[in-house]
Structure 1
Amino acid sequence: MLSTQQLLDDFAAYTLGDKAMDDTHQAFLQLCLTTVQADGPEFVKHFQALFEHTHQHFAEEEARMLTSVYPAYAEHRADHQRILGDMNRFCQRLSLGRTAMAKAWLKESLPAWFDVHAKTMDSALAAHLKNH
């Protein structure tokens, strides 16, 4: 199982050569790590901050896709929407004091998703942006 700490330790493997994307990805991973290490009310607070950051992160990427007429916009956006939907559902559970599933998802599923998303979809987007 890939951890957020491993992603940060090997961040060079996820560097895409687009400063805005690279900086945002590093901030995202740092927020993931801070959140997964927190407990109780601190976990809830950090998870909500991560959700807000991720929403902004995806909105900025999607705006760049639209501006540059990125051909894989719909597929890339759909992947973003799936993650935002998951995070939104976890935020609802957190508001009821239920943290276990959100913490497990953040620890086990989100790093694996980021690994694939960054190496495929974001890598293709960065290449496209370099040419436009």
Structure 2
Amino acid sequence: MNWFTHDNLDQLDHSEIDQDHQQFYDLLKSLEQVDNADFPAHFQELYRLTEAHFEMEDDLMTSHEYPGAADHQAEHQRVLGEFKQFQLRVNKGLISFGRVFARERLCQWFVLHISTMDSALVSHIKTRSPR
């Protein structure tokens, strides 16, 4: 079963954000194929990438005085909180919990987050930065 319903990743025309999104997408898709023995390491790598990406976006929101920063950052914290809970389960050997979280929550959340919150952030950045 393919975790994503499409293989095209929406680009926002912001190189740093788009590059991170591509890495996230590639790692998330790799979880679909990785065996159970390697799953915990890949899941942890995806968490670390997500955390670093959120920090980068938080910095962008601050430096560009993004008015939607509080809501966007709250969403980041919510996702990281969920991620941590599933990381604990994966660390206990409950790999199926991590697989379901990745497939059923992260995939759908990721696509929606790009098209709403990240798109709005990039739009704001573009209005404040000369091309």
| TM-score (ref. length: structure 1) | 0.91
Shift of 1:128: 0.6
Alignment of 1:61 onto 2:61? no
Aligned to 1:113: 109
Match of 1:46 among 42, 59, 64: 42
Q: 1:19 maps to which residue?
A: 15
Q: Distance in 2 between matches of 1:91 and 1:102?
A: 7
Contact persistence 1:2–1:108 (CA under 8 A): no
The CA deviation at 1:73 is 0.3
Matches within 5 A, 1:1-132: 3-4=3-4, 6=6, 9-11=7-9, 14-132=10-128
1:39-73 alpha-carbon deviations (Å, 9 max, x no partner): 22200010000000000010000111011110000
How far does residue 75 in structure 1 lie from its aligned partner after superposition?
0.3
| Contact residue 4 and residue 32 of structure 1 kept, 8 A | no
Give percent identity, aligned residues only. 36
> Could you tell which deviates more after superposition, 104-113 or 43-52?
104-113
Tell which has more relative contact order, 1 or 2 (C-alpha 8 A, sep 6+): 1
Q: How far, CA to CA, are the matches of 1:118 and 1:2 in structure 2?
A: 20
Pick closer, same or farther for the CA change 1:117–1:80 going to 2, 3 Å.
same
Unmatched tracts of structure 1, length 5 or more: none
Give aligned pairs, total.
128
Using the TM superposition, give the Cα deviation of residue 102 of structure 1 relative to its aligned residue in structure 2, in angstroms.
1.2
Deviations 1:63-95 (A, max 9, x none): 110111100001001111111111111111111
In proportion to residue count, which structure has more helix?
Answer: 1
The 1:111–1:2 alpha-carbon spacing in structure 2 relative to 1, beyond 3 Å, is: farther
CA positional deviation for 1:5: 6.8
Cα distance in structure 1, aligned partners of 2:49 and 2:116? 21
Distance 2:117 2:104 in 1: 20
User: Where do 5+ consecutive residues of structure 2 fail to align?
Assistant: none
Question: Cα RMSD between the aligned structures?
Answer: 1.6
